[in-house]
Structure 1
Amino acid sequence: MKLIFAGTPVFAARALEAILDAGHDVALVLTQPDRPAGRGMKLTPSPVKALAQSRGLRVEQPLSLKTPEAQALVADVGAEVMVVAAYGLILPAAVLAMPARGCLNIHASLLPRWRGAAPIQRAIESGDARTGITIMQMDVGLDTGAMLSTHPVDIGPADTASTLHDALAQSGARAIVEALADLDALPRTAQPEEGVTYAAKVGKEEGRIDWTLPADLLARRVRAFNPAPGCHTLLAGAPLKVWMAEALEGRGEPGLVARVDADGVVVGTGDGLLRLTIMQAAGGRRLPARDFLAGHPVAAGMRLGV
C-alpha cells in the first residue's frame, strides 16, 4: 500500500519500522524539525527521521501543515493512507481529506479514555490497571475519530512511563500493520460519549513532590513522570530526584523522614508513608537506596522539601 507516515519520537519509529518490514510503500515521511539535544545542544534528527534516512525514504519537516506549500507535499504523493503516530502537528481538514482512504492514528490509550498529549503518564498517575492502543480514523477533533481496533495492555504495579511506553510502542507497531492488512474489513466504531477523559501535557512543575498529597498518588506520580519530567524534592536544601517509590501504611508528618533502613527512606505524607527506593543527588547517578545512603547521610527527623 502506498502511504505517508507522520511521526516523530521512538514510539512512532517503532510503527514506521513495522510498516516498512511489512512491505508497504512509504512514499513520504513527515516529522518534526531537528531539535537541539544533548549537552552540546547539537541539532539532532528525530528518531523517525533517523530511521527513514537509514531506509532511504523521502523526509520532509514542515513547521506547519496549514500552508499551501506543506499541503502540496501531501497532495502530490497520491497516497492511499496517511499513518500518524505522535507527530506533534495538527492535521487540518484539507490534509485529512487528501489520502484516498483517510488518515489513521496510532493512539496510546483505549479511547475515549485519555484523549490528548500524555495518555501514558496520565493512565499511570490515575492508577489505571489497563490501557492500550487504539487505531483510529482521524477527524478534525482531538482524538475523537471512529475506532478501527483496540489492543489492551495491562499496567503493572512497577511500570513507569518508560516501560509502559515500550510495551505500547510494540503493541502499536503490531496493531497498525494488522489494520493496514485488513483495512476494508475493519468496522468504524464511533467512540462512546461516556468515559471521555483528557490527558493534558505534563508540565515540569508537576514533578515537584507535594508532601501533603497522599502517598499512593505520589508513588504513582513518581512512576508516571519517570523518565520525564522526573519527580524531585529538596534534601538539606539540595535537589533530590526520586525515581522509584512505594506507598506504605502508617502515619507521619508530611515531608518528615520517619525512618531510614536498607530498603529506603520512609517519609510522611498527607495520607500514609512513602518509601523512596531509587534516588539521585544533584550531579550524581540514579542509585538504589542502600547505595545512595552510603554516600548521603539521611536520618529520621530530617525534613524534605526545604
Structure 2
Amino acid sequence: MKPLFKPIAIAMACLGLSAPTAHAQNEADALMMGKHNLCIAAGYSYSSWDRYWEGSLKRDNANIGTFSASSIMAMLNYGIRDDLNIMVSLPYVSTKTSAGTLSGLNGLQDLSFYVKYRPVRKTFGSSQKLSVFAVAGYSAPSHNYNVDLMPVSIGMGSNVTTGRLIVDYQLSKFFATASGSYLYRSNVEIDRTAYYTTRQINSNQVQMPNAGVYQFRTGYRTPYIIAEAYVDHMRTYGGFDIRRNDMPFVSNTMNSTNVGFEGKYYLPQLRALGLHAAAWRTLEGRNVGQATGFMAGVLYTLNVAKSK
C-alpha cells in the first residue's frame, strides 16, 4: 500500500534592475524582469506527509510511515524586453520513506521553459495599476526516470504544455493577483505491457489526464520587500481514484487545495542579491498527501547589455 506523492514545483524569484525599483519575478506571479537582465537563482525545498487521501478517504499507511521529498532547483531568467521574459529551470529531486522496504529515488526531474508576456499595463491616478500577463510553457523529462513506482517516483514523465493568464491589481503598496492555467499532458510509457485502471489495458502506453491550476495571491509589495499569502487549487480533468489498499498510479486523479505564505527581501546595499522563502500546507485533496513544506532560496542578477 503506497500513498501518492504530489510533487510541488518550485518557481524561484528573480530580481530585475533595469528600473529604479527591483522586483521578484517567476512564471506564476505578476511581475516582470527588466530588459537585458539575467537572473541566476537557486533554492531548496522540503515537504513531507504521513496522511493522504485514497480517493475521498483520508488515511495513514504503516508500510510507508512518513513520506518526504526534497528538491534543489536551478533557474535562469532573462528579460528580452521589459514586457517579455524567458525562463528555464531544472530541479534535482530526492524522495524517501521512514518505514517499510520501499526505497526512495533521486535524480534530475523535468526541464522547463517559459515565455512570459505583459500585453496590458494601465495606470489609474497616482497609485493604481492594472496589468495582464500571458504565459506559455513547456516541460519535458530530462531523462528516462521511473514513473511507475509511486509515491517515490521523482516525477510523472510527461511532456507538459502550459498556458496561463494572470491579472494583477495594485493599490499603492497592496496588491491582489488572480491566475489560471491549463496543463496539457502527453502519454507516458511504463516498463510493463499491461496494467489495470478501472479496466485491464494491454499496453505500455498510459494516457495522462490534463489539469488546471488556479491561484489567488494578495499582500504587500515595495521595492525591497514583498510579503504575500496565497491559495492555489489544482484539479485533474480525468483519471481515477486509488483503489482501496492498492498502490497509486501515474494517471490517478490528483486534486488539491493549498495555502501558503511567501516573502522576498532584496538587500538595499547590494541590489543584485535577493532572498526568498515560502511555506505551505495542503488543506484538502484527492489521491494526494496532506503535505507541509517550506522553501528557501537566493538569487543574483547580472545586466548583460553590451556597453557602447
- Band the TM-score falls in, shorter-chain normalisation: under 0.3
What TM-score does the superposition give when structure 1 sets the normalisation length? 0.27
What TM-score does the superposition give when structure 2 sets the normalisation length? 0.27
Higher relative contact order (CA 8 A, sep 6+): 2
Query: Which structure shows the bigger proportion of residues in helix conformation?
Result: 1
Higher radius of gyration, 1 or 2: 1
